[in-house]
Chain A
Amino acid sequence: MNECRDAYLKEIVKAIYDGEDVYLVAADLAAPCLDKLREDYPQRYVSVGIAEQSLIAVASGLALTGKKVIAYTSNPFLVFRAFDQIRNCVCAMKLPLVLLGLGAGFTPPDYGFTHFILEDINILRGSTELTIYNVSDVNLAGYVAQKTLNLSSPIYVRIDRLVDAEYELTTNDVDRGFRVLHKAVNKKICVVSTGIMSTECFEVIKSRQDFLNNVDLIDVFSFPFDEKALVDELKNCYKIVTVEEMRLQGGLGSAVFETLGDAGIYIPVQRLGVDISRGLSSHYGSREWHLKQFGLDRNSIAEKIEKSLSDR
């Protein structure tokens, strides 16, 4: 299942066939929807081998010749192995290219920690000139593909292999970097989530009428986001629960804290995420198993929301 990846790449492939000067630079990663393109336009699919530093540097050089460039490979290696190149070539020089990373969170689950993508957004959030898209549905993938063709600065596109949801995406949402997935009649709690956790939280809220009545859900898909607009959405609730399949330090919850603090808004925030500051589990398991270890499975999220409601 790679709906978001295909939604993004199919738009890019179409653009190339339509005459757009787009180049995909890849570090040993392809996709079925690229197969025909690689035959018809071999020059547009540039292989650098398993060499992420070369990936970013070559992509940067191509971008400097005026081409629309997508640097594409598996996360977390795209970000972590080549961070120096991302920082100095892409961000500092404000090159209009796409960093397309396939993979998010505890995936692939059986590969273990080396392959988990838990800190990429946390690290990149401090980069200059970079906009991050944590793709949380197919429509957003399509939007980002269109944006790819008209970039003025770099973007990092984080594609989760398992995200296949489809939510409404308005121009206002795109401008703000987040969207309200559910608005409750009585706004008591606001859940703020990102990536696949937005779908998980949505399923949790839909499963109970008291949640539907009292809990808002906001999907933050872009970093940075419109801070003032987010404050406006959050300021009337009495508790905020942030949910992310990322490390807590510097992640979504931190971003929400910073935003509220800067605005002088003091609302309790409970952060749900991955805390591995005291070490890693020595066991393997499914993505669901890993999520459960950190209280990020649906039952655990429901319990946290329920307790927050009853604490009122």
Chain B
Amino acid sequence: MNLDEMNEKCRQLKLKTLQMCVKAGYGHVTSAFSCSEILVALYYNLMNIDKNNPSWEERDRFVMSKNHASIMLYPVFEDLGWINQNDLNDFGQDDSLLGGHSKMSIVGVDFAGGSLGIGLGVACGMAYGNKADGKSLKTYCIIGDGECYEGSIWESAMFAGHNKLSNLVVFLDRNRLCMTAVNENILSQESLFDKWRAFGWYVDRIDGHDIAKIISAVKKSFSENVEGKPVCIICDTIKGHGVDFMEDQVFMHGWVPKGEKAEIALKQLGGAENE
């Protein structure tokens, strides 16, 4: 898939995510939209997966540590043929397969987080186990910048750095917003670059909405990371990216547009609510 096709795929997946959430009346849309391009880069370029065998033992693994953004995974899995459109239609309904935070029972999910700060440690364990077995597969993980307030993130960062888990690639979704305020006004987080580097990681910082840069940053890390460090790519992103009135807004965490707002949002993504 070329870059234009991936960008178009990203738009389609965002649209499906929003349609799903508008219908259900809930979902962390803005959190999903800040890491949409990362997911597309992963599932349509970077990750070694078998579309016809989602349980393939040698596949790369993915951990969505900020798992409220896992709603964006569902359209990806549907597009890959692992779940179906009816599952998306039922999102958030009684007795449905799909909900606000992914579960292990969903085909394609390698770890079901939800409580912030947990997923990175689990990704570390996966990477350690696969490295011990001499497997070449990678573990990819997305964490949020708000999640970096959790002390457990730094416990895991220390573990990965010490053990030189070069088979672990973490994307830090730096959308700069928590639920109630701008991160830097809650507790200052910068310099995140220096912090991760100090914990023994190979660190890069890119525009997290540029799919080409995401892909090239990961590939560059594989060639440049000669010391075998775990990889942290800080992705500067915009929460709610792609819908102008949802972008970079405090108090839109977990917010789903309704009525006219929903129609405008869907239209901006190239669709309509009843499409």
Contacts and interface: CB of A to CB of B under 8 A. Distances in A.
A43 interface: yes
Residue picked from A57, A62, A63, A93, most chain B C-beta under 10 Å:
A57
Interface residues on A, range: 20 to 34
A153 interface: no
Contact of A85 (B104, B121, B133): B121
Contact of A57 (B110, B114, B122, B130): B122
A62 B129 contact: yes
B128 A53 contact: no
Contact of B124 (A57, A87, A93): A57
Interface size range on B against A: 20 to 34
Given A48-B159, A65-B133, A53 B114 contact: no
A193 B269 CA distance: 64
A54 B162 CA distance: 13
Contacts of A66: 129
Contact of A61 (B129, B152, B158): B129
A81 to B, nearest CB: 10
B158 A51 contact: yes
Contact of A89 (B118, B127, B132, B133): B118
B125 A53 contact: no
A57 B104 contact: no
A245 B119 CA distance: 35
Contacts of A35: none
Interface string A84-101: 110111001100000000
B170 interface: no
A54 B126 CA distance: 13
A53 B117 contact: yes
- Which interface residue of B110, B114, B115 has the most chain A CB atoms within 10 A? B115
B217 interface: no
Interface string A51-79: 10110111111111111000000000000
Nearest to B150: A53
B6 interface: no
A51 B120 CA distance: 14
B130 A58 contact: no
A46 interface: yes
Given A58-B121, A58-B124, A65-B126, A53 B133 contact: no
A61 B126 contact: yes
A195 to B, nearest CB: 30
Contacts of B151: 53
B123 interface: yes
A63 B113 CA distance: 15
B244 interface: no
Contacts of B133: 65
Given A51-B159, A53-B155, A65-B130, A93 B117 contact: no
Interface of B: 104, 110-115, 117-130, 132-133, 151-152, 155-156, 158-159
Interface of A: 23, 25, 43, 46, 48-49, 51, 53-54, 56-67, 84-85, 87-89, 92-93
Given A54-B152, A60-B121, 16 more contacts: A48-B159, A49-B158, A57-B120, A57-B156, A60-B122, A61-B121, A61-B125, A61-B127, A61-B129, A64-B110, A64-B122, A64-B129, A65-B129, A65-B130, A65-B133, A84-B118
9 contacts: A53-B117, A53-B155, A54-B121, A57-B152, A61-B123, A62-B126, A85-B118, A85-B152, A88-B118
